[in-house]
Amino acid sequence: MRRYVLTGTPGAGKTSILRALAGLGHVVVEEAATSVIARAQARGEDEPWTRASFIEDIVELQRTRQLTAPATNSLQVYDRSPVCTHALARYLGRPVPPSLAAELERITTEGIYERQVLFVRNLGFCEPTSARRISFAESLEFEKVHERSYREFGYELVDIAAAGLAERVAVADAAITRPGGGSFSR
């Protein structure tokens, strides 16, 4: 099974790219943090990211989704990974909880994700949503934290530059269907 991670700063267009990849027939796995936030907000919790267990909740859902993702073909695309959760913990100034450290160890030891990560660059703006309350300036800093985390864990970034959706999807699709077919950032 080849599992690719699609990542980048909030508001960079990852979800649009993921949906387009699904439209091309790829198995895709949605982002866990957004689901954790939406579930908590549906229960009346306005800012679940302030809760101490927020990072652990994301890790648990990421692990569950990875272990239960449909294996209908030999390729899957994940909207974020535990390395993103590591970047989030750093960005929020929180320690890496044991559950995240264990999951990072598991995905590394078992080689769960491909070493090439689809890194979606910012679009020059960041629109707030109920789950995304971050300014554009903050999103740029978060982008740098993500990049550092992936590089520290030894991943190679497939750079998906700001462009129209069709062009970005083409770069992502080329990178996962023909490894080495994307534009790389070193």
Domains in the chain, start-ordered, CATH in brackets?
2-185 (3.40.50.300)
Residue 186 has pLDDT above 60, yes or no: no
Name the amino acid, one letter, at 154: G
Q: Residue 105 contacts by C-beta under 8 Å, 6 or more apart in sequence? A: none
What is the mean predicted confidence (pLDDT) over 57-86? 93
C-beta of residue 97 within 8 angstroms of C-beta of residue 56: yes
pLDDT bin (cut points 50, 70, 90) of residue 10 is confident
Q: What is the mean pLDDT of the chain?
A: 89
pLDDT at 54 over 50: yes
Q: Enter the pTM of the model.
A: 0.89
Taking the C-alpha atoms of residue 21 and residue 76, their distance in angstroms, rounded to an integer, is 10
129-155 pLDDT, tens digit per residue, is 666 567 778 888 989 999 999 999 999
- The model's pLDDT over 78-134, given as tens digits with 9 standing for 90+, comes to 999 999 999 999 999 999 999 999 999 999 999 999 999 999 998 877 676 666 567
Burial of residue 152, with CB atoms counted within 10 A of its CB: 0-12 exposed, 13-18 middle, 19 or more buried:
exposed
155, 70, 147, 160: which is closest to 107 by C-alpha? 155
pLDDT at 180: 54
